[in-house]
Amino acid sequence: MTSQAEEGGKAWIEPMVRQLARPAFQLAMGLVRDREAAEDIVQEAFLRAMQNRRTPHIAEEFRLWLYRVIVNLVRDHQRRRARERRPTLWVTPSTDPAIEAERLIGDQRLAEAIQRLTQREREAIQLRFGEDASYGDTARIMGTRESTARVLVHRALDKLRASLSSQELEEGWRIST
C-alpha cells in the first residue's frame, strides 16, 4: 500500500505519460514491428520511470531518458527474438486502416531495404527521421557519440539509396536527399 506522500511524489509523471505515450509507442513500434511487443516495451519503460528515483523530471530530459530506455528494451527484445528468426517488415502504425494497407503495399521495397540495415542503423534512422530527433538526441538515446550517430544515419541512407531510387526514398521517408 502506498502513502499519499508517495502517490503525490509520482504526480509529475502523469503529464509526461499523456505527452509521450503516443510518440513512445511509435518509436517502439517502428523498431520492433510488433504491436503487442511495442505496447509491452512502452509500459515497461513508463513503469521503470515511476520506480527509478533518478528519473529526470524535466520534460526534455525525461523524453531523452525514456527513449533511451525504450531503445534498450527493444535491444533486449530483439536479442530474445533473434532465437526465433521470424522475418518481419518494419512498419509504423497508422490510425486509418485504408491508409495503412495502401502504405504497406507502397512501402514494401523500402521496408525490405530497411530490414537489410543493421539493428543500430535502423535505430538511428527511426530516431532521426521517425522521431525527428537531432543527431545529438539520437546519440544520447542510443548511448553513443554524436559523430557515431551521424555515421550510422549516413551509412543507412547510402545503403537505402543504393537499394531504392531517390524518388522512392524521398516519398518513403518524406525527406530530401
CA dist 35 to 38, 41, 50, 128, 165, Å?
5, 10, 23, 21, 30
- Supply the pLDDT for residue 15: 92
Give 126: exposed, middle or buried? Use CB within 10 Å, 0-12, 13-18, 19+: buried
Query: What pLDDT, on the 0 to 100 scale, is given for residue 163?
Result: 82
pTM of the model: 0.62
Instruction: Write down the number of H helices and E strands in the chain.
Output: 10, 0
Q: Compute the Cα dihedral for 124, 129, 135, 138 and give only its sign.
A: negative
Q: How confident is the model at residue 173 (pLDDT cuts 50, 70, 90)?
A: low
- For 51-108, how does the pLDDT look when each residue is reduced to its tens digit (9 = 90+)? 988 999 999 999 999 999 999 999 989 888 766 554 444 445 555 666 666 555 556 7
pLDDT digits (tens, 9 = 90+) for 28-37: 998 988 899 9
Q: What is the largest CA-CA distance in the chain?
A: 59
Q: What are residue 24's phi and psi, to 5 degrees?
A: -65, -45
**Domains, the chain:** 1-88 (1.10.1740), 93-177 (1.10.10.10)
C-alpha atoms less than 13 angstroms from C-alpha of 26 in its C-beta half-sphere: 13
> Among candidates 27, 24, 28, which has minimal Cα distance to 13?
24
